[in-house]
Every structure is written in structure tokens, then in C-alpha cells.
Structure 1
């Protein structure tokens, strides 16, 4: 008997977090051209999905990488504006 599938929408928290974190970091580098809305939005979503994935315990490495890149994508434009 099968106990159920391991596939669930929660398994995608890690890859989505990493993807959004990379987008946030790339957009933060070019914040002068694209503005700061894209890195702030995608970075905050990456941090949110990273925390959700770490809480569920699924794909911890991808979630941690997405959390790191998303956090840097959010903090970089904020620090530039503050300076």
C-alpha cells in the first residue's frame, strides 16, 4: 500500500525562493536602470518563501540560498538609498 505522494506544492518553496532571490540580486545590481521596486518585491517574496520552506523542512539548501540572495537583493538598494 502506498502512503501517499511526496509531491506537494510545499516542495517548490526552495526553487521558487532561489529563483526570486537571483532575480532580486540581479535587479539590485541594475537598480539605477530598473528602479528599486523589482528587487524589493522579488527579494521580499524570496525571503518569505525561504522562511516557509525552512519551516516545512523541505529543500533546506535551496531555501537557505534563496533566503540569502533575497535578503541581499532587498538590503542592497535600501542601503544605497540610505547612503
Structure 2
């Protein structure tokens, strides 16, 4: 069974902070976590300071990043 959560909010409202904390907690509890990030700008995947990298570092098994011009998929083995 897959459970889906959506976290939305204004820019700089703490969405990534809450998301990474949730990913860390669920990963430590043994859940496999995937994160989907929408970016309204020209996206870059796994750049150290980006949200996608933070989600991956928090323990997400898969991170998907979608923007108007790009689609990235990162999966840990």
C-alpha cells in the first residue's frame, strides 16, 4: 500500500524543512520514501544546495524533479 502526502505552501514557508524531517523520520522507521518536487524554474538535480539534494540526503529512495522544461529521476540502489 502506498500513502501519498502533498506539502504545499508559499515560497520560503518551510516546505523543504518539513519534507526533509518527514523523510528522515519515515526512513528511520523503515519506510521506503519517494519524493516528487515541482520546480517552476529551470531545474537542476542533485546540486548540493537544492531541495532535491536535501530530500535525497534525508533518505528518500527516489527523488523526482519536474519543471516546465526538464524531468529528472534519481534512485538509490
TM-score tier after normalising by the smaller chain length: 0.3 to 0.5
- Identify, as 1 or 2, the structure richer in strand: 2
- TM-score under structure 2 length normalisation: 0.40
Higher RCO structure, 1 or 2 (CA under 8 Å, sep 6+): 1
Task: Choose 1 or 2 for highest CA Rg.
Answer: 1
